[in-house]
Amino acid sequence: MTETVPSTPPRCQAAGNVTPYVAEMAVNVTRAPGGPPRTTVRCALARHLTFEHEGIVRELDGTEGHVWGSFGAGVPVWRVRVARPCTEQAGHLPCGLYADHPGVCVPARTDAPAAP
Ligand SMILES: [Zn+2]
Ligand SMILES: [Zn+2]
C-alpha cells in the first residue's frame, strides 16, 4: 500500500540566525515558561513574495503561542514577539502559524531545527 503524502502548500525555505542579543530578547519578551531560544530558525510560512520571513525562535508551554522572529535574506532575526496560534486548519492538521499571518495556512513544520 502506498501512502500518499497530503499536498501541502510549498514552503518558504529561508533560514535565519538568532544572535545572542536576540536570543536574550526572546527569553525576556515573555514570562511564560518555554524552551530555550534556537540559534537558527526556519521560515514557517508558505512560500511568499514579501521580504520578511517568520520563524519560531522559542516554543512556549501551553497554548499562549510562541516567540516568533522576523528575519530577512542574509539578515539575522531582528525582531521577536509573542504571537498566539492561528486557529485555522491546514488541511486535516492545525495551522502551525500565528494569528493573522500572511499567506495560506500550513501545518507546523517538522524540519525546523531543534532547540540546542
Ligand atoms: Zn519566508
Ligand atoms: Zn493559519
Residues with CB in 5 Å of ion ligand 2: 86, 88, 95, 97, 105
Distance 3 CA to ligand 2 centre (A): 25
Distance 94 CA to ligand 2 centre (A): 8
Assess if residue 37 is contained within a domain: yes
Assess if residue 9 is contained within a domain: no
> How many domains, the chain?
1
Assess if residue 89 is contained within a domain: yes
Assess if residue 71 is contained within a domain: yes
**What is the domain extent for residue 54?**
15-94
Assess if residue 84 is contained within a domain: yes
DSSP H or E stretch at residue 94: strand 93-94
pLDDT digits (tens, 9 = 90+) for 47-59: 999 999 999 999 9
pLDDT along the chain (116 residues), means of 10: 65 95 97 95 94 96 92 96 95 93 89 55
Query: How much is the pLDDT for 111?
Result: 66
Distance 1 CA to ligand 1 centre (A): 35
CA distances from 67 to 24, 85, 98, 106 (A): 12, 10, 10, 18
Assess if residue 67 is contained within a domain: yes
Structure pTM?
Answer: 0.87
Query: How much is the pLDDT for 2?
Result: 58
